[in-house]
A and B are shown apart, each in its own frame.
Chain A
Amino acid sequence: MTTARRLLAATVFAALALPVAAQDLTVVSYGGAYGAAQRKHMIEPFIAKTGKNVLFEDYSGGIAEMKAQVEAGNILWDVVDIEAIDLERACAEGLLESIPRDILPAGADGTAALEDFYADGLANECGVGVIFWSTIFAYNRDVFTAGGPQTIADLWDVAKFPGKRGFQRRPQVNLEWALIADGVPMDQVYEVLATPEGQDRAFASLDKIRGDIVWFDSWSQAPVLLNDGGASVVQSANGRIFAVVMDEKRPFEMIFDGQIFDIDVWAILKGSKNIDLAHEFIAFATGTEPLAGMQDVAYGPTRRSSNALIAPEVVPYLPSSHIDKGLRADGIFWADYGEALGERFNQWLLQ
């Protein structure tokens, strides 16, 4: 009898515990220094304010994991930080919920949300902008004592600047850089990359430095590779290098030439069971103050009202201060070509 009662109690307990667990909001982002800044300025204040539990997890980007969850009908994530370069495609493939704009609060100075956000921050119905950031490259001054590569063309010049290059294992950014290194003007990169000849040209350009590339998966690996000598130059999100230079005084030099700037947004996975809580979180996390907190890792805010809170010494490190040196990542191009170029890129890796 006692056993039966115990079993019953356990069943009731499990039945009660399940809905409670389902109410935890799962927020997924990129970890590392950026994740730490988000935890400090967005996650923890939100928990303190609402008393709701938030699980904050890492992923290494891309849409594959979201796709697997949505297609298998097994939704584990609620809110995801996603690069705009992948956002258009994820939204077009039905992996994300659209986010109503009326949940967004006015800025701290009273400006209505729709005016306060930069247009790019709300350009896609599935996302609300979090940061302006860019993909840059950085080298270790201890390795290149006489000065390191300064342009994308230098980055491709393995004779002049020998050493491993750490690149993220995906076609995005790498193919753009391959064309820039091959002499395509920045404003024509996506036009050229949309043609079969342009794609051949980009892969031929990548072929030239193939043996000198070390591939990594997650942005948080970039500063690690540069630090432990696994690579002499790495491709990185600008904030990752900024954080190790500022906090650990590492001799790393950031180069903004050829930067591909982009925004990150908060998005909600299609079929999330916590849509209301996810809206509440996104509304909170994209407020004036939490957005300004991203300056810890030198990422620019997506609201105009946050600019007043940015420390003057961070400004030179913001991607927006070097806007003329780079190009804007084209999310629509990658929505249309991501599948085809992704497959070709993987075949190229295996050859």
Chain B
Amino acid sequence: MTVTPAASTGPLPRKAAPLAADLALTAGERRHARREVLRHRLTALLLVAPLLVFLAFAFIAPIGTMLFRSVHNPGVMQLIPQTLDAMSGWDDAGLPPAEARTAFAVELRALFGERRSGRLGEEINRVMPGASSTIQSTGRRLNGMPAAEVEADGADLLPTINATWGEPRIWRAMHEAGRTFTDRNFLTALDLERTPDGSIQPRASARIYIDLYVKTLRMALVITLLTVALGYPLAFFLAHQRASRANMLMIFVLLPFWTSLLVRTTAWITLLQTNGVVNSTLLRLGVIDRPLTLLYTEFATVLAMTHILLPFMVLPLYAVMRGIDPSYMRAAMSMGARPVRAWWSVYLPASLPGLSAGAMLVFIISVGYYITPALVGGTDGQMISNLIAFHMTESNNWGLAAALGTLLLALILAIYFLFDRLVGASNIKLG
């Protein structure tokens, strides 16, 4: 991580200064040396070029477009350009000028005819919940009126169709939704909203996303601690077996790892459902007298994810523990330390790189986990990625999904940074 530029570009630049002073080299020799360096760099670049191209197309470009989409919102501008144009001088106080309102009536009528008013309703509804029904029903009524009448006095017609058009708030919402660049998605993702006078305040309707971020982090933390509690003793045990036996036992750790994620998740559904294996066993043993609700809960999500992510904890731990010389522990104990003390001051610090790597892997993977909570989590056990998927595929609010995803990315980077500060990223060892 701490490679200096000088080291990566070969020995010449570092020596360039003394060489320049040393007049023993001719200009031609210097030119030749420079060309040699350039050739080396070019070869190096060519070697990594496929990877760079791949990263640019598969990683940087999609993430870049996603980040951009969270602030770029041209939809409304394309739907009602004339209305927004007529509104451009309006300062959000009172009703917009009559010409803007008439332009809107004409454009809405046309949009309904082309069956695009639903898209407009959807966009404005995101700024003012409930607006889409006003827009759709007004569009339906306008469509039944002659074009000339709408063009002549659209501004006065609108409030007679729906009283909401007489209020400034829907026009303000339209004005706001019509901005091509907006911070609205990020505000919504942080459960904030902008008041009519431009200041920012917590959203009046329910607080959803912050709670969900907190819940996601809490669940990821619980899962990480559970995998440590289960994985550390297991890795310790495996690391202190004879190599042949350890390899055989390792198969049992790896076997689920090789099994499809979907299969393992579905297996948990079979185990946990109302008349599933767990409930029927407990009922038969007389421990409970009516089935427990296990599936479609947060408990089910944590349980299944702990199982699925356990190998990510065990493997780095095992690799690091295999490399710890057993004589250290013996030395500590021969000098009078009790086993627990010897483990605490000698073994634990030595195994810490594996523990850090495992914890980091499990935590980051579980923060962004999607499929398992979607299948076994019901409404309780949903995580932030499920909501991102919901906005991508169901509510079609890609801007908000992008903002939520960007925040998640920033959150993970922040956690990594914090981890680097506290533990040191160089302390991560995968084996």
Please report A residues at the B interface, Cβ cutoff 8 Å. Answer: 62, 64-65, 67-68, 71, 89, 91-94, 194, 196, 214-215, 228-230, 332, 335-340, 342-344, 346-347, 349-351
B205 within 8 A of A: yes
Is the Cβ of B112 less than 8 Å from the Cβ of A92?
yes
Q: Which residues of B have CB within 8 Å of A347?
A: 205-206, 208
Q: Are B395 and A229 in contact (CB under 8 A)?
A: no
**Contact partners of B273 in chain A: CB under 8 A:** 228, 230
Expressed in whole angstroms, the minimum distance between the Cβ of A328 and any Cβ of chain B is 19
Residue pairs across A and B with Cβ atoms less than 8 A apart, 26 shown, are A62-B394, A64-B395, A64-B396, A68-B393, A68-B396, A71-B396, A92-B117, A94-B114, A94-B115, A94-B116, A194-B133, A214-B378, A215-B378, A228-B273, A229-B275, A230-B274, A336-B132, A339-B132, A339-B133, A339-B136, A340-B129, A340-B131, A340-B132, A343-B125, A347-B206, A350-B387
**Chain B positions 98 through 132: 1 when the CB is less than 8 Å from some CB of chain A, otherwise 0:** 00000000000000101111110110010001111
Q: Is the CB of B208 within 8 A of A351?
A: yes
Q: Which residues of A contact B133 (CB under 8 A)?
A: 194, 336-337, 339-340
Q: A62-B394, A71-B396 are in contact. List 18 more A-B contacts (CB 8 A).
A: A65-B393, A68-B393, A89-B118, A92-B112, A92-B117, A92-B136, A93-B117, A93-B118, A94-B114, A94-B115, A196-B130, A215-B379, A228-B274, A335-B118, A336-B132, A336-B133, A340-B129, A349-B379
In Å, the complex CA distance between A93 and B115 comes to 5
Q: How far is the CA of A342 from the CA of B396 in the complex (A)?
A: 12
Q: How far is the CA of A170 from the CA of B293 in the complex (A)?
A: 22
> Are the CB atoms of A336 and B129 closer together than 8 Å?
no
The answer to whether B208 and A350 have CB atoms under 8 Å apart is: yes
CA distance A196 to B116 in the complex (A): 25
The docked-state distance in angstroms from the alpha carbon of A343 to that of B206 is 12
Any A CB within 8 A of the CB of B179: no
Chain B residues within an 8 Å CB radius of A342: 395
For the complex, would chain A's binding face be called helix, strand, loop or mixed by DSSP majority? helix
- In the assembled complex, the Cα of A337 lies from the Cα of B162 at a distance in Å of 14
Complex alpha-carbon distance, A194 and B75, angstroms: 27
Q: Quick one: closest A residue to B115, CB to CB? A: A94
Whether the Cβ atoms of B393 and A343 lie closer than 8 Å is no
Check B118 against A214 for contact (C-beta < 8 Å). no
Q: Bound state CA distance, A345 and B218, in angstroms?
A: 25
Q: How far is the CA of A89 from the CA of B117 in the complex (A)?
A: 10
A331 to chain B, nearest CB (A): 12
Specify the chain A residue showing the minimal Cβ separation from B122: A339
Q: How far is the CA of A93 from the CA of B387 in the complex (A)?
A: 24
Verify if B140 is at the interface (C-beta below 8 Å from A): yes
B296 at interface, CB cutoff 8 A: yes
A285 to nearest B CB, angstroms? 25
**Residues of B with C-beta under 8 A to A89:** 118
A339-B125 contact, Cβ under 8 Å, with A92-B118, A229-B275, A350-B212: yes
Report which of A64, A93, A339 forms a contact with B393, defined as CB distance below 8 A: A64
CA distance A93 to B139 in the complex (A): 12
- A91 and B115 contacting across the interface, CB-CB below 8 Å: yes
A residues near B131, Cβ cutoff 8 Å: 340
Query: Distance in Å from the Cβ of B138 to the closest Cβ of chain A?
Result: 9
Asked whether any CB of chain A lies closer than 8 Å to the CB of B390, the reply is: yes
Q: Which of B370-412 contact A (CB under 8 A)?
A: 378-379, 382, 387, 390, 393-396
**Are B118 and A94 within 8 A (Cβ)?**
yes
In angstroms, Cα B394 to Cα A236, docked, is: 22
A351 and B206 contact, Cβ closer than 8 Å, known pairs A89-B118, A340-B125: yes
B424 nearest CB across to chain A (Å): 38
The contact of A228 among B275, B382, B396, by CB within 8 Å, is B275
Residue of B nearest to A65 (CB): B393
Closest Cβ of chain A to B22, distance in Å, is 56
A281 CA to B132 CA, complexed, in Å? 35
Q: A342 to B126, alpha carbons, bound, how many Å?
A: 12
A350 CB contact (under 8 Å) in B132, B206, B295, B378: B206
**What's the least CB distance linking A330 to chain B, in Å?**
12
Determine how close the nearest CB of chain B comes to the CB of A210; give it in whole angstroms.
Answer: 10
CA distance A97 to B222 in the complex (A): 50
Chain B residues with Cβ below 8 Å from A94 are: 114-116, 118-119
Contact of A214 among B114, B296, B387 (CB under 8 A): B296
Residues of A within 8 Å of B212, CB to CB, are 350
Closest to B291 in A: A229
B129 and A92 within 8 A (CB): no
In the complex, whether B247 has a CB less than 8 A from a CB of chain A is no
List A contacts of B206 (CB < 8 A). Answer: 347, 350-351
Q: B281 contacts the other chain (Cβ, under 8 Å)?
A: no
Residue from B114, B137, B205, B379 within 8 A of A336 (CB atoms): B137
Contact A343 B395, beta carbon cutoff 8 Å:
yes
The CA-CA distance from A338 to B133 in the complex, in Å, is 8
Minimum Cβ distance to chain B for residue A161 (Å): 15
Tell me the minimal C-beta distance from B85 to chain A in angstroms: 24
Bound-complex Cα distance A214 to B291 (A) = 15
Instruction: Give the complex CA separation of A312 and B374 in angstroms.
Output: 44
CA gap between A316 and B245 in the complex, in Å: 68
Q: CA separation between A62 and B142, bound complex, in Å?
A: 27
Mark interface residues in B126-154 (1 if CB within 8 Å of A CB, else 0).
Answer: 00011111001100100000000000000
Task: Give A350 to B395 CA distance when docked, in angstroms.
Answer: 15
Query: Which partner residue on chain B sits nearest A96 by CB separation?
Result: B115
**Shortest 8 CB-CB distances between A and B: which pairs?**
A93-B118, A94-B115, A339-B132, A64-B394, A336-B136, A229-B274, A337-B133, A336-B133
Q: Which chain A residues border B393 with CB–CB below 8 Å?
A: 64-65, 68
- Chain A residue contacts of B136, Cβ below 8 A: 92, 335-336, 339
Chain B residues with CB below 8 A from A91, complex form: 115
> B395 — which chain A residues lie within 8 A by C-beta?
64, 342-343, 346
B218 to chain A, nearest CB (A): 16
Interface centre among B212, B390, B395 (most CB of A within 10 A): B395
The distance in angstroms between the C-alpha atoms of A347 and B379, with both chains bound, is 11
User: In the complex, what's the smallest C-beta–C-beta distance from A71 to chain B, in angstroms?
Assistant: 7
